[in-house]
Structure 1
Amino acid sequence: MRKIRSLVFFDMDGTLLSSNSTIVPEVSDAIRQLKANGNIPIICTGRAAFEVRQFMKECQIDSIVSMNGQYIEFEGQVVSNREIPADLCGRVLSYAQSRNDILGFYNYQEIALSEDQPLSRSFYQNIAAPFPQVDNEFYKTAPVNQLLVISHHADREYAQQFPELEFFITGEKSIDAVLKGGSKGKGIKSLQAKEQLDVPTYAFGDGNNDLTMFDVVDHSIAMKNGNKKIKEKANFITDTNDNLGIVKGLQKLKLI
């Protein structure tokens, strides 16, 4: 039987990805070495699974906790798939429209946006991702695992309006929303329980939605480019995402 040395979770944007939203060769080489050494690298992201498949392929990563814990795969097999009810999606859409915000509907296969506006165009340009389809009735016929609010100003008003959802402010103009109780940390614990993985755990992150990862792993590593909260919570701070912070962190941990 294969012996698993550890589980190592990686946030994507600002962590595994460089500032131009690519994985540099030194980082992909390090992840492959990490895996060869008996560790399981796992993407842990707010993004949908289909958005990061190419990155996973580059690094030979087969496991993912996506959409803040709503959709989970372990070594290619689906572990969890939590969906937001259509009526709740509709209510959030109405509120977003009242604020002139844009709502994104995410599942593990595709994304749809409520509107095509300069605000949404600039958002996807900034994360170097293709602009999704526009369909404000997508949620009526397709499953939705996560909502994305693209706002002129990200604030806590959504959380006050919809207590049945968990909201994560991920940027000045973006908020992720999942079912109450959902988070990266809850996704990690669910994966460990369902797969009976009682091994050391590590997590690399840079932002607010990574805080729950740090709550549940044994060793937490913040990127130097991360925000103040994540740095304060980390066991140690590695270099930036543009200066091989992942490679240096894995070396310090003696995982590669």
Structure 2
Amino acid sequence: MTYKGLVFFDLDGTLYNEQSTVDEAVAIAVRQLRANQYLPIISTGRSPIEIKDALAKTGIDSFITLNGSYIQFEGQPIYQGTIPTDVIQQTVATAKAADEAIAFYDEKEIRITNVTTTTQEAYDFVNAPVPTVDADYYLNNPIYMLLILTKQNDLAYTNPLNQDLTFYRNGPYSIDTVEFGGSKQTGIQRLIESQGLAGIPTYAFGDGPNDIPMLAYVDHPTAMGNGIEAAKAQAQYITSKNTEGGIIEGLRHWNLI
């Protein structure tokens, strides 16, 4: 199929409402977008297993998850960015020394080293259950993202590993951590190049730190009204908040629906 454009959506604070679900009106707009020959694509730090409801409700079947580390196009996986085991071991050791926790993400499971108060706060913050404890999960499975559960101990991880990993603080309780150089931008580039979609106009909607590379890369970036100032600085258009019809307003601004 020939598409008129590719439209990338962040989830939390963007396509999602405050309950981390997609409003019915937003789902209808996304389905209309596709009917108008624009391909909707989710671009999120969440894992594939966390977004099943969003996919079902919107009809989306292409996504960039785990901040560019696991990509699917029209139902088929096309990229997995695996973090080296020795790098994970070093990260886990740092967390253990600080009485903190690390969660392991692949396309089918989420596991965690241990449960702390910060762990509970982090998953409550995104309306998600705390993962099952399995401290050795990474030894037997490819890991595409780590979630470092820490409030203020960022430098203990980023200083020794900033040439091995890329870090995105996603809120007050945790840090998304992926292969070095990984981002939503690199995910978009890989998807476009692998599927022969170069030259098609690109649009994106986002609100947070990990959206900045994506917003800087696409042709027509839109920041949510609830977004951080750094995201808004990358935008050609700033729409309303995610809870105030911002997605629909933004799609109409670009004449996509």
SS of 1:88's partner is: helix
Match of 1:50 in 2: 49
Aligned equivalents of 1:124 and 1:173: distance in 2?
A: 9
TM-score w.r.t. structure 1 length?
0.97
TM-score w.r.t. structure 2 length?
0.97
Letter in 1 for 2:235: A
Letter in 1 for 2:31: R
- Please, which runs of 5 or more residues in structure 1 have no aligned partner? none
Aligned equivalents of 1:69 and 1:152: distance in 2?
A: 24
Output aligned runs, 1:63-78, within 5 Å.
63-78=62-77
Sequence identity (%): 39
Letter in 2 for 1:190: R
Aligned equivalents of 1:118 and 1:193: distance in 2?
A: 42
Match of 2:185 in 1: 185
Aligned equivalents of 2:111 and 2:47: distance in 1?
A: 12
Q: CA deviation at 1:155?
A: 2.9
SS of 1:121's partner is: helix
Q: CA deviation at 1:117?
A: 2.0
Output aligned runs, 1:36-115, within 5 Å.
36-115=35-114
Q: Is the 8 A contact 1:83 1:143 kept in 2?
A: yes
Letter in 2 for 1:250: L
Output aligned runs, 1:131-142, within 5 Å.
131-142=130-141
Aligned equivalents of 1:244 and 1:108: distance in 2?
A: 31
Output aligned runs, 1:116-195, within 5 Å.
116-153=115-152, 155-162=154-161, 163-195=163-195
Aligned equivalents of 1:188 and 1:244: distance in 2?
A: 25
Q: Is the 8 A contact 1:158 1:167 kept in 2?
A: no
Q: CA deviation at 1:154?
A: 5.5
- Please, which runs of 5 or more residues in structure 2 have no aligned partner? none
Match of 2:197 in 1: 197
Q: Is the 8 A contact 1:164 1:179 kept in 2?
A: yes
Aligned equivalents of 1:149 and 1:78: distance in 2?
A: 26
Q: What is the aligned residue count?
A: 255
Match of 1:26 in 2: 25
Q: Is the 8 A contact 2:94 2:156 kept in 1?
A: no
Q: Is the 8 A contact 2:121 2:173 kept in 1?
A: no
Aligned equivalents of 1:23 and 1:156: distance in 2?
A: 35
RMSD: 1.0
